[in-house]
């Protein structure tokens, strides 16, 4: 436990002062910093599903942003189906087609 706490600053130590094992410390820090709480998961899902391509983004940038949001969900233990990711990608193509703006 000493090694873990020696790497933390005072504000972080106060968050884990009631933990009795290294495992509890890691779990506590994960829950705080990876936002594994239900509200954190809900917010991450909302960010993914409400994400829209910006006029200034290329299709490649948009796809990278969608993939990054999906990875953040995966990092907190949530999954995003390939179908959901594809729907986000298709939205960019529809925008490009409907506006006539080349976004590549």
Q: Are residues 62 and 91 in the same domain?
A: yes
Domain total in the chain: 2
Which residue reads 């189906």 in tokens?
A: 81
pLDDT in tens, 22-31: 899 888 887 7
Q: DSSP of 39-75, one letter per residue?
A: HHHHHHHHHHHH----TT--HHHHHHHHHHHHHHHHH
Q: Are residues 16 and 66 in the same domain?
A: no
pTM of the model: 0.57
pLDDT of residue 93: 66
Q: How far apart are CA 104 and CA 48, in angstroms?
A: 22
Domain that holds residue 14: 2-33
pLDDT of residue 34: 66
Q: Are residues 23 and 48 in the same domain?
A: no
Q: Are residues 44 and 93 in the same domain?
A: yes
Q: Are residues 86 and 51 in the same domain?
A: yes
SS3 assignment for 22-40: HHHHHHHHHHHHCCCCHHH
Q: Are residues 49 and 86 in the same domain?
A: yes
pLDDT of residue 88: 82
Q: Are residues 43 and 94 in the same domain?
A: yes
Nearest to 62 by CA among 29, 96, 38: 96
What length is written for the chain? 104
């Amino acid at each position: 436990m000493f090694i873990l706490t020696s790497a933390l600053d005072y504000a972080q130590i106060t968050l884990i002062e009631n933990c009795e094992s290294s495992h509890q410390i890691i779990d506590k820090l994960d829950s705080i910093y990876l936002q594994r709480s239900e509200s954190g998961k809900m917010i991450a899902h909302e960010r993914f599903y409400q994400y829209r391509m910006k006029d200034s983004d290329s299709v490649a940038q948009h796809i990278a942003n969608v993939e990054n949001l999906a990875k953040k969900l995966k990092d907190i233990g949530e999954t995003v189906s390939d179908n959901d990711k594809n729907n986000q990608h298709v939205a960019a193509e529809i925008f490009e087609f409907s506006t006539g703006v080349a976004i590549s």
